[in-house]
Structure 1
Amino acid sequence: MTTMTQDLPDTGAIRDDVLTGDSRGLHRLVLEVRGGTVPVYTSSGSVAHRELAGLLDGHTERLDPSAPDSVFHREEDGALPGERRPVPFLPKSRLLTPAEQRIAAECFARTLATGELTSGPEVATFEAALADFTGLRTTATSSGTDGLIIALRSVGVEPGDEVIIPANSFAATENAVLACGAVPVLADVEPDRHTLDPVSAGAAVTSRTKAVLPVHLYGRLADMAALRRTADAHGLRVVEDACQAIGVTGVGRHSDAAVLSFNPYKNFGLTGKAGAVLTGDDELAERVAAIAYHGFRPDTKNVKAEPWGLNAKIDNPIAAVAMGLLPGLTLKNYRRAYLAERYVTGLGELHAAGLLTLPSFTPDHAWHLFTVRVPGGPAERERIRAHLREEGGVETDIYYPVLTHRQQTPLHEAHFSHSRLPHTERLHTTAFQIPLHNQLSLTEQDRVIEALHAAAVRPATR
């Protein structure tokens, strides 16, 4: 089998004897567990790292799937040993484990009894805990989309300004720009990363450009250092759409602000929509907090600091749920990284034979989605997906089925009818996603790997 790995440059910011739960540390931990060794680490005191840190403190055998009480799921929920069930792409009934559901219900009930159902103390507690984990000032919001709008307005995006974005993201990215009255401008992506290409972004700059909005698609960090250099060369602001990239090393370090999402389908999913804006700039953090709540000064009732603002803060009960679930964040990301490496290894022969193109197992990835590409193009992709579904019982998906400049609305046709994005368009016709979620069992993953081997080598129907 072939295992593709790639290291980030050593910045000196992360000590090898400390595991903080960021993607770079989890990447190293996965490779060590796969190699049969787990060194002794000093773990971060972050709430988000608590469950994984507990395992590193004398229970490291549970990080290995072969352990009887491993943190990995062996069978589908409710399945009998040996039972062969379909493998869903993302089963809604398994977004939270039964234990997590109990925690969420208890947290919500506690806040319900206080009557503090909008603002309340849990909001500040969650923001402080998330700031401790990320190392950045944090404002928790009602959704990732609202977070993007707030961040863009906070860095000065106004009606008529242009904001450079990729075309292969969820509609929230372009909608946030449009909600500011600004104009989305499309640039191409890097074919290996699927993320905004700094050179293409630079070529898209005009006299009206105010900001660059890269997306860490599927959980992979965009080339932020290069994008920052491009932005600085043109005097632009940078906001990261990091909604799929919680815990990734470097998020928020080369931008004015970064935005997370806690939608139930994300790596760290809650019981409703929620998000957060992160920034290392104290002045900007104050503006973010004000715009998130009607423009009011933080901690001063109904006194405006900004002329305009949203009603877009996270609700107290959702923040309470977030605090209840936060201790498992880095453990969930560890499981995802381990399963991703297991996919890369298990499908490595197909990659080496040119039958599938796999992502490299890199340390700058949250593995929100596992994306494979079919070199043969859209017809071959659909043949493989159909074989997986009909013969293997494996459900797949395409994120996102319609690119921004291919949407059929008057606005899109007016803005994007002349857009030419060759890398984005090529990736869009060849890529699809296979199951990878917080509760994916090893049995299910083995079936996906087996089904892909069978589908990829099957002769195409003439």
Structure 2
Amino acid sequence: MTGRPPSLAAQTFTGDSQSIHRLVLDVRRGEIPAYASTPAVAHRTLAGLLDARSPRLLPSTTDSVFAREPLPTGRRRPTVPFLPRTRLLSPEEQRIAVECFARAVAAGELTSGPAVAQFEQALAEFLGLPHAVATSSGTDALIIALRGVGVGPDDEVIMPANSFAATENAVFACGAVPVLVDVDPERHTLDPTLVEAAITPRTRAVLPVHLYGRLADAAGVHRVAREHGLRVVEDACQAIGVAGVGRYADATVLSFNPYKNFGLTGKAGAVLTGDSELHARMERLAYHGFAPGEKNVKSDVWGFNAKIDNSTATVATGLLPGLTLNNYRRAFLAHRYIDALADLGTAGQLVLPAFTEDHAWHLFPVRAAAGEAARDALRARLQADGVETDIYYPVLTHHQPTPLREKLFAGVSLPRTERLNATVFHLPLHNGLSVTEQDRVIEALHAAVHATAH
């Protein structure tokens, strides 16, 4: 017995993070599995991924997948931007978006129309959840989800402090109070073992965040929440395509901001659920309290004007089949980073993320093992060498200089979160990053670590 897995040809490529993880490992070993060239795609929404008009998911070399934007020639030390806005969508994606938008304009179906329901159905199928409500932003989706599960004025919502401001703002928008809990030091996400101690009679919900694209311990959070009669709303705005998203939550929120893995031509989001009653409630909340399917007939007292525009939904439906290809690109590049920087991790100079199957690789975080000063010195050295980096997110919730800081967070201490926040920074990783650019980042980071260590 060699211990090899079952025949690759017999395996099914489903397009989620687990199948992408397996595919990247196969390719990095030099194997071209049969399921990649003629995949048995499980999701109807992905059926067009490998048709004659689409780029091949797995060519014999990486060139046709990653050569969309090579480094400019003729420069001794060319720059690598962190995320160039001109490359948020590939030329092919730009063509699709323009054609889809033009159809909506020609039909006069701009704010409402059939594409909204079509996109919601496709999105629900892609995530394997029964119901989706597409919204005007991820922030609106978070507010609708929290309101939908019953969060209201003076309630408490347990959440981490290391997230985009939309997470805390959604809690504030409900009139509720964020209660901050420390994170697991390896995942950087909410630690379920610390959630229970933060529960009070006012706690209504728990709000884990799948940070940087990696799944939080959703099962652990769900277990604690259910023991105490609490609802769970997942902030999965960075984790579309990750296996397990939505499995342990009452409601799951996504964002389609142009900078996300699945980015559109403006702000948009969605909330998904397996609960039909909650779905109906969130549908009403998303659009003026109107009864679904009945024009201008209210069945709730009030609601938001927060449904996705039909024109944006048309673009979203056109771009959705390419999501798995983009997630594959990101996972492939993440594995290359981890391989190429392994010596710096072994030497104790950087802390690298693990290459796991529960990750969408929205961002690639590394940590300076020597602390904040070392992190800042590395970033400065890289910037001087023409490689841009960034920090997500530079100011934690309880450190934001707002009028509520002293009232709500004066005594909050989150040592793990604060340590991670002081040492983490992010390397370029986006759908259009070329392997040539990545090699340039790897070279510059090695040089920066060597220079700052001596």
- Structure 1 and Structure 2 fold alike (TM over 0.5): yes
**CA 1:307–1:448 in structure 2 vs 1: closer, same or farther (change >3 Å)?**
same
SS at match of 1:276: strand
Aligned residue number for residue 120 of structure 2: 127
1:411 is aligned to 2:404: yes
Q: Alpha-carbon deviation of 1:311?
A: 0.6
- 1:296-445 correspondence to structure 2 within 5 Å: 296-391=290-385, 393-445=386-438
Aligned residue number for residue 43 of structure 2: 46
Amino acid at match of 2:225: A
Query: Bigger CA drift: 314-323 or 97-106?
Result: 97-106
Aligned residue number for residue 233 of structure 1: 227
Q: Is the 8 A contact 1:75 1:442 kept in 2?
A: no
Instruction: Give the RMSD, CA atoms, in angstroms.
Output: 1.9
1:144 is aligned to 2:138: yes
Per-residue deviation, residues 43-80 of structure 1 (Å, max 9, x unmatched) = 2253553454449x995651641x5xx21227537x34
Per-residue deviation, residues 95-120 of structure 1 (Å, max 9, x unmatched) = 01122112111111111112221111
SS at match of 2:204: strand
Identity %: 65
Aligned residue number for residue 5 of structure 2: none
1:25 is aligned to 2:22: no
1:248 is aligned to 2:245: no
Distance in 2 of aligned mates of 1:312 and 1:46: 28
Per-residue deviation, residues 413-436 of structure 1 (Å, max 9, x unmatched) = 211111010000000100000100
Q: Alpha-carbon deviation of 1:170?
A: 0.5
Q: Alpha-carbon deviation of 1:81?
A: 7.6
Query: Bigger CA drift: 301-310 or 340-349?
Result: 301-310
1:178 is aligned to 2:160: no
Q: Alpha-carbon deviation of 1:200?
A: 1.6
**TM-score, normalized by length of structure 1?**
0.92
Q: Alpha-carbon deviation of 1:199?
A: 1.5
Q: Is the 8 A contact 1:48 1:330 kept in 2?
A: no
Distance in 1 of aligned mates of 2:102 and 2:406: 48
Q: Alpha-carbon deviation of 1:459?
A: 4.0
Q: Alpha-carbon deviation of 1:33?
A: 0.9
Q: Is the 8 A contact 1:89 1:435 kept in 2?
A: yes
**CA 1:460–1:194 in structure 2 vs 1: closer, same or farther (change >3 Å)?**
same
Q: Alpha-carbon deviation of 1:85?
A: 2.2
Aligned residue number for residue 100 of structure 1: 93
**CA 1:429–1:444 in structure 2 vs 1: closer, same or farther (change >3 Å)?**
same
Distance in 2 of aligned mates of 1:92 and 1:324: 20
Distance in 1 of aligned mates of 2:58 and 2:135: 38
SS at match of 1:289: helix
Amino acid at match of 2:216: A
Query: Bigger CA drift: 16-25 or 33-42?
Result: 33-42
Q: Return 5+ residue gaps in structure 1 as ranges.
A: 1-14
Q: Is the 8 A contact 2:12 2:42 kept in 1?
A: no
Per-residue deviation, residues 307-332 of structure 1 (Å, max 9, x unmatched) = 23111000011011111111110000
Query: Bigger CA drift: 286-295 or 138-147?
Result: 286-295
Amino acid at match of 1:86: T
Aligned residue number for residue 147 of structure 2: 153
Query: Bigger CA drift: 28-37 or 451-460?
Result: 451-460
**TM-score, normalized by length of structure 2?**
0.93
Distance in 2 of aligned mates of 1:74 and 1:119: 35
1:198 is aligned to 2:192: yes
Match of 2:103 among 90, 107, 110: 110
**CA 1:293–1:219 in structure 2 vs 1: closer, same or farther (change >3 Å)?**
same
Q: Alpha-carbon deviation of 1:84?
A: 4.4
**CA 1:235–1:63 in structure 2 vs 1: closer, same or farther (change >3 Å)?**
farther
Distance in 1 of aligned mates of 2:324 and 2:55: 17
Distance in 1 of aligned mates of 2:299 and 2:387: 53
Distance in 1 of aligned mates of 2:403 and 2:375: 30
Distance in 1 of aligned mates of 2:192 and 2:42: 36
Amino acid at match of 1:438: N
Aligned residue number for residue 4 of structure 2: none
Distance in 1 of aligned mates of 2:60 and 2:273: 33
| Count of paired positions | 441
Aligned residue number for residue 67 of structure 2: 73
Amino acid at match of 1:293: Y
Distance in 1 of aligned mates of 2:251 and 2:244: 12
Amino acid at match of 2:321: P
Query: Bigger CA drift: 306-315 or 21-30?
Result: 306-315
Distance in 2 of aligned mates of 1:364 and 1:143: 24
Distance in 2 of aligned mates of 1:61 and 1:106: 26
**CA 1:75–1:119 in structure 2 vs 1: closer, same or farther (change >3 Å)?**
closer
Distance in 2 of aligned mates of 1:321 and 1:449: 35
